[in-house]
Amino acid sequence: MDAADFNSRVSRCPIRRICIIKPSAFGDVVQSMPLLNVLHSRFPESQISWVINRELSDLLTGHSVAPKLIPFDRRGGVSAWWKLLRDIRQSKFDLVVDLQGLFRTSVMSWASRAPLRVGLQAARDGSSLACHLLVPNTSSQGPAHRRYWQVAEELGLGQLKQQAGIAIPDSDSAWAARVKANLSGPLLVIHPGARWKTKQWPISHFSVVARQALRDLKMSAVVIGSRGESAAAEELVAAVKREVPRGEILSLAGQTSIKQLSALLQKADLVLSNDSGPMHLAAAMGTPVVGVFTCTSSERSGPAGNLHRFVAADVPCAASYCKQCPHRGDAYQACFRQLTPGLVWTALRDHWNFISPRRRVA
């Protein structure tokens, strides 16, 4: 079935129940969230559900479209897996959109028995076999955000504004405002973590850039991350404090909910981050980002928009998407050495000088 056939079939068939399958990862879920408004605009009477990892479900709670959440526990065991498939089957979806494209999500899509099942060309592990249509221009070689938005293009709604629509409770917004009010100067939020070791630009490099920002730009800084990243965050704070004892920097790693993190990133004046979920969350909240890209491509994995500046490694294996460095000896983690603190600091300083007049006006 090609795109023309798909749109013809959509026009003929009643679409009352829609399921988006996108359990993970953090940044990918954030980048695909604008499709909620697209599907709601195209099928205003339909109930939209979303299969999502339980720990990421707060990204979707409170959304104006009010999707029904179908929690997915990756380590939930066989009984949880069968319950999930049964729930999907019993929901009697008319349209399923698999944005993940892995074997396990193809099983979810197939189990739905939906008469219309849509996937992306980036689908792997044979997952395309469960789909009636692969949306064109959605290969893994293009930008991820563009890949997801191509679904909107195929539905004839590509002109809509791309908004994630992450809802922040007033209490969390007030908490973030208090955090910022207790610090002086522009607020720099730093995320030095990442799930892959090859994305983890060294803490010592982050500390150099943070010191420069506190000294030269008179910024204050908050370090964020998961509970597992709290030790690295404290190491970064201690390293900065040794060199800039009067500098205002603190760690909130492991201390924020998704809603609090969203609120804090919204209040930030600038975010410095590895290629990670919080980088995409910051972009979705409208905050400028300076992104550090070691083993991934800033073009393929960076957020959309002209608010952001990316610093990418320029070594032979750059953008290889290897979770472990494949080299040994002098070539081991060459991207970390090639991306010096000086390069990232220059990018951050120049980007701040470019955006700060706009931020003050806003």
Structural domain count, the chain: 2
- Pair (181, 121) in one structural domain: no
Residue range 229-244: mean pLDDT, rounded: 97
- Pair (186, 44) in one structural domain: no
In the prediction, which pLDDT does 31 show? 98
> Rounded to an integer, what distance in angstroms lies between the CA atom of residue 278 and that of residue 274?
9
In a domain, 101, yes or no: yes
In a domain, 161, yes or no: no
In the prediction, which pLDDT does 3 show? 61
- Pair (189, 312) in one structural domain: yes
**Whether the predicted pLDDT of 350 surpasses 60:** yes
In the prediction, which pLDDT does 361 show? 46
In a domain, 29, yes or no: yes
Residue range 251-277: mean pLDDT, rounded: 98
Domain with residue 290: its CATH number is 3.40.50.2000
In the prediction, which pLDDT does 74 show? 84
Tell me: the pLDDT tens digits for 107-139?
999 999 999 999 999 999 999 999 988 998 999
- Pair (233, 112) in one structural domain: no
Residue range 86-101: mean pLDDT, rounded: 97
Last residue of a domain, one of 154, 183, 213: 154
In a domain, 139, yes or no: yes
Tokens 């809509």 label which residue? 160
Residue range 192-219: mean pLDDT, rounded: 97
Q: Place 237 in a pLDDT band, splitting at 50, 70 and 90.
A: very high
In the prediction, which pLDDT does 14 show? 86
**Whether the predicted pLDDT of 316 surpasses 80:** yes
- Pair (270, 124) in one structural domain: no
To the nearest 10 degrees (0 to 180), the angle between helices 34-42 and 144-154 is: 0
- Pair (174, 238) in one structural domain: yes
In a domain, 165, yes or no: no
Q: Place 1 in a pLDDT band, splitting at 50, 70 and 90.
A: low
- Pair (201, 227) in one structural domain: yes
The C-alpha torsion from 61 through 66 and 72 to 78, rounded to 10°, is 130
In the prediction, which pLDDT does 6 show? 66
- Pair (354, 246) in one structural domain: yes
In the prediction, which pLDDT does 75 show? 85
pTM above 0.85, yes or no: yes
- Pair (242, 315) in one structural domain: yes
Last residue of a domain, one of 98, 121, 154: 154
As a whole-number percent, the residues of the chain with pLDDT over 70 amount to 97
- Nearest CA to 122 out of 147, 104, 146, 145 is that of 147
In a domain, 260, yes or no: yes
Last residue of a domain, one of 127, 154, 181: 154
Q: Which domain holds residue 53?
A: 3-154
- Pair (142, 180) in one structural domain: no
In a domain, 355, yes or no: yes
Q: List CB contacts of 47: < 8 A, sequence separation 6 or more.
A: 16, 17, 18, 68
Tell me: the pLDDT tens digits for 58-82?
999 999 999 999 999 988 899 999 9
Residue range 231-251: mean pLDDT, rounded: 97
How far is Cα of residue 258 from the mean position of the Cα atoms in its chain?
A: 12
Q: Place 287 in a pLDDT band, splitting at 50, 70 and 90.
A: very high
How far from 120 is each of 135, 315, 345, CA to CA, in Å?
Answer: 5, 30, 37
**Whether the predicted pLDDT of 26 surpasses 70:** yes
* Higher per-residue pLDDT: 156 or 91: 91
- Pair (271, 192) in one structural domain: yes
> Rounded to an integer, what distance in angstroms lies between the CA atom of residue 251 and that of residue 238?
10
In the prediction, which pLDDT does 358 show? 64
Q: Average model confidence (pLDDT) for the chain?
A: 94
- Pair (63, 123) in one structural domain: yes
Residue 283 φ/ψ region, left for φ over 0, alpha for ψ in the -120 to 50 degree band, beta for the rest: alpha
In the prediction, which pLDDT does 356 show? 87
Residue 125 dihedral angles phi and psi, to the nearest 5°: 55, 30
In a domain, 253, yes or no: yes
